[in-house]
Structure 1
């Protein structure tokens, strides 16, 4: 296959994986929260629903369709970020504790606070009368928002919101785990902020217990009065720039009904249980993906004979990245190349769909590195394809145990 065609095929596969993952995260969060509010949290909904009216018929359908388009925009930007990582232009690293767990926590905090800052100023820009109608009006068609409103953006708005992470990883050293934690926090806070039910705890006097966080009422007021409350996670930018709704605390107090302390503990317990179930649902998609990768690694691990019986390669999880596939040279037919035994011949393969992609194969004794793809045809057969510049090769590798006649053990 020509290298350009190979890049196109890889890009299409990566894009499909990114879009599927992003959409599943959105649906799990939005639908999961909607289900919680109609079951486990139903008694709380009656007391804490911010508006008495329900959203109009057809709103959720419109929000989901708009969100699908937003997911495609986010995924295209993420695809660019993936290729930037491959080119070595970013500061992303795989081992979460490579810079210590303290730095890991700081990096997550920088991602969250930085995103809140980015969101606040982009949000204010979108409310400029020259941009509002074409870039932001669709989101405000959801006057009475639902959890599904979270990604209901115009194309331009989705692009601006999606730019934050690709730009930040160019300058901030950050691990894949930190990016995952940030993305889960983002979708959970976003869907909760649009759910229409005040889930945040209150003091005895009916004020927010965590005043530095934006509550559901805080963002709901923005949909009711678009000139106020632009923040996403925190209230400090609205307070600093004097854009917080002057009656915010009064609306919050009305939403929580100034519940007496004797009822606060059951409410807090319900919220804690719901939050645990909600986050577990969002995280489950990633857990299933990791289980799939683990099973695929177990299937492909072992000793494989290259085409022409030229070498034996031991495939196994990478030492520094256990969810990736690597391979070491176990045996080679040419005695002159014996010094290369034990070298890491394959590195960096990641499971994408039914294939291991984006890895490299180094030819022992030669200055050749092939960008490669491995496909499992059956338990004893692999199809290996690699390209170096304009030179591409294909080989069939067989499991050593399936070839007793060659006398290698």
Structure 2
């Protein structure tokens, strides 16, 4: 159906999945924090904002676009890492308890501390005047950073940052769960560090309560004064190498009051309405989601009933019976019940289509298998009329469509129904 080699298809599909996952992780973390600080926590954020003015118009759009490009670079490097694991050059295991739970937690700590070290020295290298303009200047165009600044890198800088994980797994056996926790920690700390609102608590002395962690002020000062504060998660490299901003603690104390002040008498009148507004907003969102899910389920069930039955592929090559995958009926599947090729009779009864969900206009983001070819493609199904379907299969950017017809509407006999 689609003349692409299996290796190319698997590689292309994996690249798309890696890029999609990485971008979703970035956009959810950045958008979630941005929305939170500009809605439910807005009074809190206004009192703890590091800069008094907002980023210039168009900055966030530029940051998202350049971050999307960085994600493509990360995905390409991750793809190489996946093949390294398949070839046995790197050790990544499914069971987090393979070497015992103490080692699992140690491996997570090594990933995080090692990344901070890698970032610090790569970051200092990129500030060399011979590299800065071509390799790092783009990130510093965000003089007033936002959560979306997190991945706004030049291509070369993105590649250097993306190399860390593949290099580590060549040396250190880790589990997929450890890598997942490390990646979540990385994007959360990265977006928080660029959010422009001091979220870290302070001690009574005015110093950061967790003085060994980089606060939001710590990294914000780097965007204001690029010759200082190169660390990502921890302050010890900056302090050891003398690159921490000399007025960092003064800036932290000036832009920040203790988070515990929300619980003091003077702040209770502010904290309670914020909690109530957030609680009310969450309740409204949950109710809206439940209502939407219920409506979507009813619509999916109705569309499944219209679609159920036997359908003949283009050229009378096969008959596929479409039906619900689950209960309540929300997903569309298809079982092969007849095929023209005598060499493919052993495939009768296989699930040929699965995972399609109705989005209001058609069945999207499912998968379709080609019997006997060991090939699986992303697919969409559009119902043209009661007896006609358009079935589209895609491999990366190459797509082809077929017209399927309902078996009962055809004059031909002798095919199973």
Superposition TM-score, scaled by structure 1 size: 0.67
Aligned length: 312
Match of 2:211 in 1: 211
Contact map agreement 1:206 1:259 (CA 8 A) in 2? no
Q: Within 1, Cα distance between the matches of 2:192 and 2:373?
A: 43
Match of 1:167 in 2: 167
Q: Within 2, Cα distance between the matches of 1:56 and 1:16?
A: 32
Divergent runs of 4+, >3 A: 1-4, 257-271, 306-313, 370-377
Structure 1 gaps, min length 5: 278-293, 301-305, 314-351, 358-369, 378-409
Q: Would the alpha carbon gap of residues 212 and 32 (structure 1) be closer, same or farther in structure 2, given more than 3 Å must change?
A: same
- Map 1:358-373 → 2, pairs under 5 A: 373=375
Query: Structure 1 residue 182 and structure 2 residue 192: aligned?
Result: no
Q: Within 2, Cα distance between the matches of 1:355 and 1:268?
A: 52
Deviation at 1:41, TM superposition (A): 1.3
Deviation at 1:21, TM superposition (A): 0.8
Deviation at 1:257, TM superposition (A): 4.0
Match of 2:16 in 1: 16
Contact map agreement 1:204 1:260 (CA 8 A) in 2? no
- Map 1:31-50 → 2, pairs under 5 A: 31-50=31-50
Match of 1:120 in 2: 120
Deviations along 1:224-279, whole A, 9 cap, x unmatched? Answer: 000000000000000110100000000000111468857469799989xx9xx9xx
Higher relative contact order (CA 8 A, sep 6+): 1
Q: Would the alpha carbon gap of residues 371 and 131 (structure 1) be closer, same or farther in structure 2, given more than 3 Å must change?
A: farther
Contact map agreement 2:199 2:259 (CA 8 A) in 1? no
* SS of the residue 1:129 aligns to: coil
Deviation at 1:374, TM superposition (A): 6.0
Match of 1:339 in 2: none
Deviation at 1:120, TM superposition (A): 0.2
Q: Within 2, Cα distance between the matches of 1:3 and 1:80?
A: 24
- Map 1:4-403 → 2, pairs under 5 A: 5-257=5-257, 263=263, 354=367, 373=375
Deviation at 1:356, TM superposition (A): 8.7
Deviation at 1:89, TM superposition (A): 1.0
Match of 1:395 in 2: none
* SS of the residue 2:130 aligns to: helix
Contact map agreement 1:138 1:154 (CA 8 A) in 2? yes
Deviation at 1:194, TM superposition (A): 0.1
Deviations along 1:288-321, whole A, 9 cap, x unmatched? Answer: xxxxxx99xxx89xxxxx95659999xxxxxxxx
Q: Within 2, Cα distance between the matches of 1:308 and 1:212?
A: 66
Match of 1:349 in 2: none
